[in-house]
Amino acid sequence: MFERAGVCYPAPRMQTVAELKLAADARLFAGGFEDALRLYLQLIEVQPLNLDARLRVADALLALGEVQRAAVVYTRLAQYATNAGYPLRALCALKILGALEPGLASLVRGVGELYGRDSARLGRGARRSLPSESDPLPAGSRGPLTERAQLVIDAERIAGDYAHKDALFPDKLMPLVLLSQLDADGLSHVFEACALVRVRPGAVIVEQGSTARDMYVVARGSVRVERTSSEGKKHALAVLREGAVFGELSLLSGAPRSAAVLAVGDCDLLTLSLASLQDADEAQLQLKRAVATFAHERMLAHVMANSTLFAALGPAQRVDLIKRFVEVEVPAGTEVVRQADPGQGAYVVLRGQVAVSKSEGERSVEVARLGPGELFGEISLLSGKGATASVHTTEDSTLLFLAKAYFDRLLEALPDLREELEMLADRRSRASATMLAAQGQEDESFEVEVLL
């Protein structure tokens, strides 16, 4: 039973851990902190190593004004999670603790020392999976029925107790994505500088088109990435879970956000800007390098997963081929390919955008714009003739260039690839002709061949 304003309400019937968690969260978010505390303690009874439930017990205690009891639960959660392989969850607890007791910064530094690149405990290993929310609730399971005075005492004891047979620490701790590229001192400074953002289900974390120089790490929960097209249609791009990083390019460049990010459920995020590291020059430099490397690897992975040139290859072949490319930084407005010039090689857009234009006499028509993962330059290599269009960058871009000799060898080894590229050229040609006709610019004397 739940009691509110002197009136008792029957407890909702729940069959799974997920339903129990939703009920507990609903009470917490609605201000029913004592009711929520009972439900979270029930969760811990069913799943003793449910770290979310233990964190929420601390949250509920804090909301009830039991600051010292909450601090004990946060501290013990941080200690266990750090050593069990869940450093981001530990940081959530430590950031809340730091707001309560600023003198606890040394605990944050301890996490950095364990997960920095020079840590002796960092390596290839495994951590125990967190309990599943799909688990059924045992028959007769219920939260404690004690009065509030005893309830908060029991909550501190139960949620702070990790003497469980499955509460084991792995010999090796798995590195953190991107962040474990920093040494212990640099990572400690980063952890100290980052802020905790706690969001409710459905909350907008990042707005598409907004500008900010912040990077985010999903510490708990999950977020959805979506992009709205110029026609107003929303496209789901990805769901990011614990440990995922987003916004790293904005950290370096301050470029507008290319997509929106929303909370799937309630989640905790660590956010960081370079400005927050202004008093730690070495940490800032290490972070810039790590972010640049991470962003580059992510762009390469996107290109290899989406480019026609890589689609016909197996994973090992893709890795081998990417080594043959030369990476070129090209300022906005640079002509990369000139119409009629002999083809020197094939290009793939890694970052940025290029425009393709066709000229005849004094007339020039833009026929396409290409973004990350898209290929150009291959048609002149296939035909052995000069380029049939010009290509220039519309913004500062990074291009991958594959010399003609390597391209020819690739076609010899993979005959099917030539057919695929020829089909691509044909599709582009027909699409371009349709576009020009719609613009009223189609001319029988103006031969249209999309791309090179």
Q: State the alpha helices, DSSP H only, in 307-400.
A: 308-311, 315-322, 378-383
Residue 115 lies in a domain: no
The answer, yes or no, to whether residue 210 has pLDDT greater than 70, is yes
Does residue 381 share a domain with residue 411?
A: yes
The model's pLDDT over 123-134, given as tens digits with 9 standing for 90+, comes to: 887 777 888 888
Phi, psi of 17 (to 5 degrees): -60, -40
The answer, yes or no, to whether residue 439 has pLDDT greater than 70, is no
User: For 253-273, what is the mean pLDDT?
Assistant: 90
The model's pLDDT over 293-348, given as tens digits with 9 standing for 90+, comes to: 888 888 787 777 777 777 777 778 887 888 888 889 999 999 999 999 988 988 98
Q: What burial class does residue 342 get, using C-beta atoms within 10 Å of its C-beta: 0-12 exposed, 13-18 middle, 19+ buried?
A: exposed
CA 171 to the chain's CA centroid? 27
How high is the pLDDT of residue 96? 95
The answer, yes or no, to whether residue 21 has pLDDT greater than 50, is yes
Residue 103 lies in a domain: no
> Could you give the 3-state DSSP secondary structure of residue 399?
strand
Does residue 135 share a domain with residue 73?
A: yes
- How far CA 172 is from CA of 84, 119, 127, 369, 392, in Å, comes to 10, 10, 9, 48, 49
* C-alpha span between 388 and 411 (Å, rounded): 21
The answer, yes or no, to whether residue 287 has pLDDT greater than 60, is yes
Into how many domains does the chain fold? 3
What pLDDT band is residue 452 in, cutting at 50, 70 and 90? very low
Does residue 209 share a domain with residue 153?
A: no
User: Do the beta carbons of residue 39 and residue 24 sit within 8 Å?
Assistant: yes
Does residue 80 share a domain with residue 50?
A: yes
- Write the CATH number for 273: 2.60.120.10
Please report the DSSP string for 49-77 in residue order: T-HHHHHHHHHHHHHTT-HHHHHHHHHHH
Domain containing 300 equals: 192-305
What pLDDT band is residue 45 in, cutting at 50, 70 and 90? very high
The answer, yes or no, to whether residue 89 has pLDDT greater than 90, is yes
The domain boundary, picked from 153, 168, 183, lies at 168
Place of tokens 């701790």: 173
Residue 251 lies in a domain: yes
Residue 1 lies in a domain: no
Phi, psi of 14 (to 5 degrees): -130, 140
> 206-211 — which CB contacts under 8 Å span 24+ positions?
206/246, 206/247, 206/257, 206/259, 206/260, 206/261, 207/257, 207/260, 208/257, 208/258, 208/259, 208/260, 209/256, 209/257, 210/256, 210/257, 211/250, 211/254, 211/255, 211/256, 211/257
The model's pLDDT over 175-199, given as tens digits with 9 standing for 90+, comes to: 999 999 999 999 999 999 999 999 9
The answer, yes or no, to whether residue 443 has pLDDT greater than 50, is no
Q: State the alpha helices, DSSP H only, in 85-139.
A: 87-100, 105-115
- List the beta bridge partners of residue 356: 368, 391
> What's the whole-number average pLDDT of the chain?
86
Residue 325 lies in a domain: yes
Does residue 143 share a domain with residue 256?
A: no
The domain boundary, picked from 278, 305, 332, lies at 305
How high is the pLDDT of residue 192? 92
Does residue 257 share a domain with residue 140?
A: no
Backbone φ/ψ region at 363: left (φ over 0), alpha (ψ -120 to 50), beta: beta
With vertex at residue 261, the alpha carbon angle to CA 93 and CA 182, rounded to the nearest 5 degrees, is: 50
Residue 344 lies in a domain: yes
How high is the pLDDT of residue 231? 81
* pTM passes above 0.95: no
Residue 430 lies in a domain: yes
Does residue 144 share a domain with residue 35?
A: yes
Does residue 164 share a domain with residue 20?
A: yes
Lowest mean pLDDT: which of 261-270, 385-394, 443-452? 443-452
Does residue 296 share a domain with residue 387?
A: no
Does residue 325 share a domain with residue 249?
A: no
Lowest mean pLDDT: which of 144-158, 159-173, 300-314, 381-395? 300-314
Does residue 81 share a domain with residue 31?
A: yes
* C-alpha span between 129 and 281 (Å, rounded): 37
Closest by CA to 347, choosing from 324, 314, 325, is 325
Q: What burial class does residue 8 get, using C-beta atoms within 10 Å of its C-beta: 0-12 exposed, 13-18 middle, 19+ buried?
A: exposed
How high is the pLDDT of residue 4? 46
More confident position, 396 or 440: 396
For CA atoms 419, 420, 423, 429, the dihedral sign is negative
Residue 97 lies in a domain: no
Strands 363-370 and 354-360: antiparallel
Does residue 301 share a domain with residue 321?
A: no
The domain boundary, picked from 270, 305, 340, lies at 305
